[in-house]
Amino acid sequence: MPTTHPPLGCGNISNDYYFLCDINVYWGIILEALAAAGVFVTIILILVLFCLISKAQDNAKRSLIPIQFLFLLGTLGIFGLTFAFIIRLNEQTGPTRFFLFGVLFALCFSCLLAHALDLTKLVRGRRPFSALVLLIMVLGFTVVQVIIAIQYVAVNITALKALRHVMDEERRRDFILILIYVFFLMFLLFIVSMFVLCGSYKRWKRHGVHLLLTALFSIGIWVAWIAILMHGIHALGERSKWNDPLLGTVLIVNGWLFLILYAIPELCVLTSPRKPGDYPLENNTCQPKGMKKTYGIENQGYAQEDNTQEENTDSYVPYSTHFQLKNLEPQQEFSIPRPKARPSPYQEYSGGKGIKQ
């Protein structure tokens, strides 16, 4: 009986794992190395995030730490899922591919979308969302894709387990259809990120640029690999040989894109101190706009006090009065005038005719 020898670099293992070690078909080893490096870097970033929690001074940035942790977990899962595409398609890797591919990307884009929605309030001087609200938003966005994936895998579990090394035309079409919701999250992230750049507080726009670039490049990557998978892969040769390298490359490229364009820049500015220009003044948020200025009479005593302070700033003595003191003139003696009797006009009136003498 003829025996099949394992390829160069592989030992006595199943042929489903040949791409992990076959040095003649080197694409598996390259993707494996890049995925392992991505896992290592992501774990380092998670540890750095934990170390920076106590150093984050801005409450708006501290509330983003939980969703950034979920984002790094999703990115770690994307790098780990690459191994399911390096291993040949079988009854174990089939359901894993169809379920986790969309769920992990939905988790990552949900975290980015929640961050973008939070920035739309910060750039306009409004109060940001709390950490609990952001977590609820992320889980709410992600659970939709989880339901879609569970429903598809539960209905087609028998067909997925029957796949052996080849994803037929129908399964390729289904694989793309269950990712439509992820497309929706990407385009929504792109639109919301553009609104972030229209705010008044410029410092928060830097975070919006991170999100906008991540969404833009991710959309470009996804449009390219779907077009190649459905139409352009015929030019490369046999379709079944290029399905797994293509999807594995998408995972690697998009995972490193998440780290370089979003995760690392966000961690670099996580501990930056809060500046007065980042938020509106409290009086501006509480005081009604458009009030007419009222005019009144100033207290001249306080006005005299202010003028005195400006004139005598160099001769200021602590615990002394700020009112200008004047030397009082010595008091002069005075007496209260007494009333004097006025002469009566009838003093010389005798009461009758006078007799001439």
pLDDT at 189: 95
**Mean pLDDT in residue range 246-267:** 94
Range list of β-strands (E), the chain: none
Interatomic CA distance for residues 344 and 334, integer angstroms? 30
Q: Which of 266, 107, 109 is nearest to 187 (CA)?
A: 109
Residue 206 binned pLDDT confidence (cut-offs 50, 70, 90): confident
Cβ atoms of 114 and 123 closer than 8 Å: no
pLDDT at 61: 85
**pLDDT tens digits, 335-351:** 666 666 666 665 555 55
| H or E element in which residue 89 lies | none
**Mean pLDDT in residue range 150-170:** 78
pTM, rounded to two decimals: 0.74
**pLDDT tens digits, 270-301:** 887 766 555 554 434 333 444 444 444 555 55
**pLDDT tens digits, 210-254:** 999 999 999 999 999 998 888 766 655 555 577 888 899 999 999
**pLDDT tens digits, 77-91:** 999 999 999 988 888
pLDDT at 316: 45
- CB proximity list for 75: less than 8 A, separation 6 or greater: 38, 42, 108, 255, 258, 259, 263
- Is 322 or 66 the better-scoring residue by pLDDT? 66
pLDDT at 343: 66
Question: Which domains are seen in the chain, by residue range?
Answer: 15-271 (1.20.1070.10)
- CB proximity list for 303: less than 8 A, separation 6 or greater: none
